[in-house]
Structure 1
């Protein structure tokens, strides 16, 4: 009889264990299904597929998730690059502003400068025919690093004070002679 009692105790224990395992497995499957459903609801590309009425496979949901994460990473990198480029541009513009302010102060502080009023039309004529602006076409403006490198080369080659003075004098003489 004791052997029979032992078997009765063991069988219900095995059944309980099997039932507990089955419940745990069902709980795990439900959690995975809930996870896939949540993931699918977050992805814009999966929501469009829901509208068509077809249920997406788990493999499709995973692949679309990977694709979307890669897209977001590319967007993030692009925005970071753009932000960095804008920061560099701001720094460059601030440097240029400081340089121009220093140039203005230097011009204002030069003794013996005779100020003469030049009408806007003459200024425009000077700018239009100034050969210096033709040379500026050699400056590359594709990106900031190329621009800054080319600007320095261009400045050193074409914007030396003596060259500028000669160029402006020549242009002003032509403007003056064409007006008289």
Structure 2
């Protein structure tokens, strides 16, 4: 099962020195297969995105994504872009730039649309209770969703903060799990 680290300035900081140290700690402590720079608030977004990319490359991370900003992902040479659930119409543009695509999905309608648009990966959330993200879907819903959408590479996302939850997800045939807090919990 693949692991997918996602950043958030609440936990990683927008101070470049603190950001880099926090990211390095996470990359040293965990086996990371995918990593995404996600920051919706910092004024130094581009500088932090470049720092994120460089640090992930130092640690030989193979799948490095930028959240939402397709052109910047291309300009900085990210591997791909993680689109939010309002950006389905931008999948084709991202693919035309040879970027791998991940899109956030929260229901079966969005998953079907992601499949139809030939997205590379999806996150499906929230699996567990997460602040301000609506009612948790739970493991049984995740299992059924994976059965229904066999050909989608689904990352479970939402409220994943410990190994017990990761183990439960590993028993569902999910492609992987994605988290912010899981990867910083032991820093």
Calculate the TM-score normalised by the size of structure 2. Answer: 0.17
Considering fraction of residues, name the structure with more helix.
Answer: 1
Which structure ranks higher in relative contact order (CA pairs < 8 Å, sequence separation ≥ 6)?
2
Specify the structure having the higher radius of gyration (Cα).
1
